[in-house]
């Protein structure tokens, strides 16, 4: 069944593109609400999930237990800072496909692979040095 491309869906997708910070549904809602006061958090939540299901955005589960959304669809991983909570894209060159190796070793089929690295980001490290 095809999904309709509604104004709300376009506005939600545009907000994720504009924010580019792996926003939560609440952050997308806060960004949209001043321009579209009649939109509800439920509408934002439903549209984010629909956009994720149609592979127009990626859904990410981060260390802060928040579901976040990413506009970058190409293969990449994420790094989350333990100090400030920021979630950053990590692009790596692959010498070998981790999925292929795991599938052969464990005899299963992997549909997706999300790696979440954790540590302290450059900005927070610089703050520590300057203190």
Last residue of a domain, one of 57, 73, 89: 73
Same domain for 101 and 68: no
Domain boundary among 43, 73, 103: 73
pTM higher than 0.85 for the full model?
Answer: no
| pLDDT beyond 80 at 13 | yes
Q: What pLDDT sits at residue 1? A: 44
Residues 83 and 94 occupy one common structural domain: yes
- What's the mean pLDDT in 62-68? 86
Most confident of 35-39, 99-103, 108-112: 35-39
Which of 19-28, 105-114, 121-130 holds the top average pLDDT? 19-28
Residues 98 and 68 grouped into a single domain: no
Q: Are residues 44 and 62 located together in one domain of the fold?
A: yes
% pLDDT > 90, the chain: 63
Residue 26 in this model has a pLDDT that exceeds 90? yes
Burial class (CB in 10 A: 0-12, 13-18, 19+), 77: middle
Domain boundaries, position 47: 1-73
In the listed set 73, 90, 117, which residue is the last one of a domain according to the structure?
A: 73
CATH number, residue 85: 3.30.1490.190
Burial level of 47, CB count in 10 A (0-12/13-18/19+)? Answer: buried
């Amino acid at each position: 069944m095809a999904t309709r491309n509604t104004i709300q869906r376009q506005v939600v997708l545009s907000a994720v593109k504009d924010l580019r910070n792996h926003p939560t549904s609440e952050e997308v809602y806060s960004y949209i609400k001043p321009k579209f006061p009649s939109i509800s958090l439920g509408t934002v939540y439903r549209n984010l999930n629909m956009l994720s299901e149609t592979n127009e955005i990626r859904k990410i589960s981060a260390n802060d237990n928040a579901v976040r959304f990413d506009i970058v669809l190409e293969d990449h991983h994420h790094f989350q800072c333990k100090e400030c909570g920021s979630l950053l894209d990590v692009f790596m060159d692959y010498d070998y496909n981790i999925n292929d190796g795991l599938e052969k070793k464990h005899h299963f089929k992997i549909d997706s692979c999300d790696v979440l690295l954790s540590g302290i980001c450059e900005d927070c490290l610089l703050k520590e040095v300057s203190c």
